Amino acid sequence: MHSSGRGTASLTPLKRPFYERDTLRVARELLGKVLVRRLGATLLEGVIVEVEAYRGYDDPASHAYRGPTRRNQVMFGQPGHAYVYFTYGMHYCLNVTTEPAGQPGAVLIRAAQPVNGIERMKKERRTERIKDLANGPAKLTRAFAVTRALNGHDLTLGTELFMAETANSEPLEIVSTRRIGIRVGLDRPWRFFIKGNPFVSRP
């Protein structure tokens, strides 16, 4: 048995119906799921521990609030696709699209607990501290080598990037707070994280 741990057999990609629902519900249920990135023979895995919901049609903080543009068009398409955008001149952020096609919505993946491929993540992030590998949306994309090339990628295929079901389904204690780094929509407590998890970006 190789020291990297579990094999790939147990990684079942989440299917379309999971994503084709209300954004808030998808956001909550993504907690505890596994983010999987395949880089050739290397497999990176992390448990999603922090997310934020951006429900396009009634959420002034959403990129999609003012209608479709070239950047946000994937938010209006089929659910279960990656929405990757570039910001602050240097960072990428990863979202998964939600809601039925034509209705915009996305969940920002803000933090993950690394469980496999940790040595590769350390190289990508240029740090040895496991806690700091993916405890923030731009740190996470760096650790998992997610760039604009994956924008629009179908997450149900189980290929380069996908979300996977977890073996254990014990109920999680979820905390909700206002979202981070936005100036509008602060009245909505649409940031969700696993209570007490040390890999969240902020408690």
Partner DNA sequence: CTAAAGATGTCCT
Partner DNA sequence: GGACATCTTTAGA
Place of tokens 């149900």: 156
Considering only residues 20-49, where is the footprint of DNA by CB under 7 A?
none
Least spacing, CB of residue 33 vs DNA, in Å: 17
Provide the 10 A C-beta neighbour count for residue 115.
Answer: 14
Helix (H) or strand (E) holding 163: strand 161-164
Binds DNA by CB under 7 A, chosen from 66, 123, 131, 195: 66
Cα separation, 127 vs 8, in Å, equals 26
Of positions 28, 37, 63, 188, contacts DNA by CB under 7 A: 63
Task: Report if residue 95 touches DNA, rule: CB under 7 A.
Answer: yes
**Alpha carbon distances (Å) from 117 to 22, 200, 201:** 32, 19, 20
Enumerate residues 6+ apart whose C-beta is below 8 A from 145. 37, 39, 44, 124
What tokens does 107 get?
């969940």
Only one of the segments 1-9, 66-74, 152-160, 191-199 lies at the binding site for DNA (rule: CB under 7 A); that segment is 66-74
Does position 129 interact with DNA (CB under 7 A)? The reply is no
For the CB of residue 121, give the shortest distance to DNA in the complex, in Å: 12
88 scored as a contact of DNA (CB under 7 A):
yes
β-partners of residue 34 are 47, 164
Out of 36, 74, 138, 194, point to the residue binding DNA (CB under 7 A).
138
Q: Which residues bind DNA (CB under 7 A)?
A: 52, 54, 61-64, 66, 69-72, 75, 83, 86-91, 93, 95, 106, 108, 125, 127, 132, 136-140, 179-183, 201
